[in-house]
Amino acid sequence: MSLVRNFIEDWSRYRRSIDEGGFHEYEHMWGMVIDLDKCTGCNACSVACYAENNLAVVGEDKFENGQGMHWMRIERYWDEPNIGNERVRDTQEHGASFMPMMCQQCNSATCEPVCPVSAAYHTPDGLNAQIYNRCVGSRYCANNCPYRLRYFNFFSYYEDSWPSPLDMQLNPDITVRDKGVMEKCTFCVQRIRSTKNAAKMEDRQVVDGEVQTACQQTCPTSAIVFGDLLDHESDVHKLWHKHQTRLGTTKQKKDNPELRGYRLYEQLNTEPSVTYLERVRDV
Amino acid sequence: MKVEAKTCHEQTHRPLFTWTRMWAVLVLAGLLGGLSLSGSSSAGELMAPPRVHTPPGAADSADEPLGPFPGVVAPEGTYEGKNVEQPIEFPHDLHADTNKINCLYCHTYARRSAVAGIPPTSKCMGCHNVIATDRPRIKKLTEYWEKGESPPWKKVHDLPDYVRFTHERHLKKFLFDNPDMSVERVDEVCALCHGNVKKMTVARKQKPLTMGFCTRCHEANDGPFDCQKCHK
């Protein structure tokens, strides 16, 4: 009997490893879906991120130098007016498009292998972590990130970014980063950890929807969905599945052109955990 | 913006199970069956052998206890902490040792939150408006109480800001989920990281509380070993 049982167990594990892109041994696999058709570009997620993650406000001059510390940023793209003929130029899908950009939590991240001190590394729950007190500020990771989603503390922002009494609103669950430290979106890891702590105290598993990132919580159109990709009942897994997005591939094959869902620069084989729902169209 | 570039290394998902490959499945099954019949009870045991820790300096024989109480390997390391000047010299020995008050009676948040906390002055006054009211320290405490202030206690055990530590999970593992322990013996659990506070007057730092101190204990007691579990 053990022969049959072992065979069935190994076979199902093998099948699961194909379905889940090789991340089936993970405890969790935190992932995100951003529906670009719902996004209105209102920047509420960005503001929420500033409040949640103690992001420094750098001021206008430094922002112009590209030193802004916005972990969550809305990128705005205008369609070229000369593309397409006159008739289709004014159709609904032409005009401005918005794209919320945060760390894509790549599963084969380009930032991790270049860190000389292993401050950037991958956690067993599928997060691309940055350990601030280990970082020495070599900035290799930021230069190697194809998305430009890592931000460097060029100055001691903590000294003047929160003049008293504003320092009272700092989140105690996350470090105030010092000068010379690289930082980036963590998928609100402090919320994940506190929820897991509460779940462990009650001897249960984390329920879907229990962990909410700050951007997801604030989004007025619910364009952002966050959850555990390994939990087959979670909203985020259902959305990935529905739109035939999968891990472990460099191009999303769709049966139906109606299906949306692509990952950013996935042809670089970075394996991002964030899926954007938008029909890919050729201009 | 949303233009998909063609690349040369596109991966495709071929169906892995086809009837023409059934012979491979049969060979695999035969191998697995051979493994399972040759003594091991499951594949999981082959993959992950249980981690056995013997602390350096401790005897290797199983007769000697590993830690101060069963099921726990005590963290190693000592630290010579300086005496901290407190507004009132609170005698821990008199409360916890002589009068046998449970640690969790005053530090009540330890079992349900991240921080153990210092009790509010009202908790002190709960007893001390009738007990030992003529002593100089209690008179000083009553002054604070009547002014409506709390004594400016100094922190003795301080962790850096980039460390996430929860008392509740540690107490759950070592005390409440430990079948060999009872709540009356909570002072032994506290003593793992805080030293023998029962014998001190004003609390003093006796353990280093460094990262090495934490990780040695996490290794010995199968704690989480992921950086981001403790660093924030």
Q: What is the pLDDT of residues B41-87, one digit of tens each?
A: 444 344 444 444 444 444 344 444 445 677 788 888 888 888 888 99
Q: Which residues contact B148 (CB under 8 A, 6 or more apart)?
A: none
Site of tokens 């994940």: A192
The reply to whether residue B5 touches residue A267, judged by beta carbons under 8 angstroms, is: yes
Instruction: Identify whether B145 is part of a domain.
Output: yes
Question: Cα distance from A227 to chain B (closest Cα, Å)?
Answer: 18
CATH number for the domain whose boundaries are A22-277: 3.30.70.20
Q: Is A168 on the interface with B (CB under 8 A)?
A: no
- Beta strand extents in chain A (DSSP E only): 30-35, 73-78, 96-101, 120-122, 128-130, 151-152, 182-183, 224-228, 274-277
Half-sphere exposure of A122 (CA within 13 A, CB side): 24
CA separation for the pair A57, B112 (Å, rounded): 35
Q: What is the ipTM of this complex?
A: 0.80
B43 touches chain A (CB under 8 A): yes
* Residue A13 contacts B where some CB pair is shorter than 8 Å: no
A157 contact B CB<8A: no
Q: Does B130 contact A at CB distance below 8 Å?
A: no
Tokens of B227: 């950086």
Q: How far apart are CA A226 and CA A215, in angstroms?
A: 10
Instruction: Flag whether pLDDT at B5 surpasses 50.
Output: no
- B127 within domain boundaries: yes
Interchain CB distance below 8 Å, B227 and A123: yes
On whether any CB of chain A is under 8 Å from the CB of B33, the answer is yes
- Interchain pair B227, A2: CB under 8 A: no
Model confidence at A80, in pLDDT bands (50, 70, 90)?
A: low
Percentage of chain B modeled with pLDDT above 90: 34
C-alpha to C-alpha distance for B70 and A125, rounded to whole angstroms? 31
Per-residue pLDDT at A83: 55
- The whole-angstrom separation of Cα B216 and Cα B209 is 11
- Residue A256 contacts by C-beta under 8 Å, 6 or more apart in sequence? none
Q: Are A153 and A169 in contact (CB under 8 A)?
A: no
The total number of structural domains in chain B stands at 1
CB B218 within 8 A of CB B51: no
Please indicate whether, in this complex, the C-beta atoms of A280 and B4 are within 8 angstroms of each other.
Answer: yes
Say if B226 falls within a structural domain. Answer: no
Calculate the average pLDDT of chain A: 88
**d(C-alpha B186, C-alpha B184), whole Å:** 6
Q: So what's the pLDDT on residue A73?
A: 93
Domain presence at residue B140: yes
Task: Please tell me the predicted confidence (pLDDT) of residue B22.
Answer: 54
* Residue at B25 is within a domain: no
- Identify which of B6, B226, B232 has the shortest CB distance to residue A174: B232
pLDDT tier for residue A22 given thresholds of 50, 70 and 90: low
Q: Looking at chain A, which residue has its C-alpha nearest residue B168?
A: A201
Q: For the residues A145-159, what does the mean pLDDT come to? A: 92
Domain that holds residue B143: 120-152
Q: Is residue B79 assigned to a domain? A: no
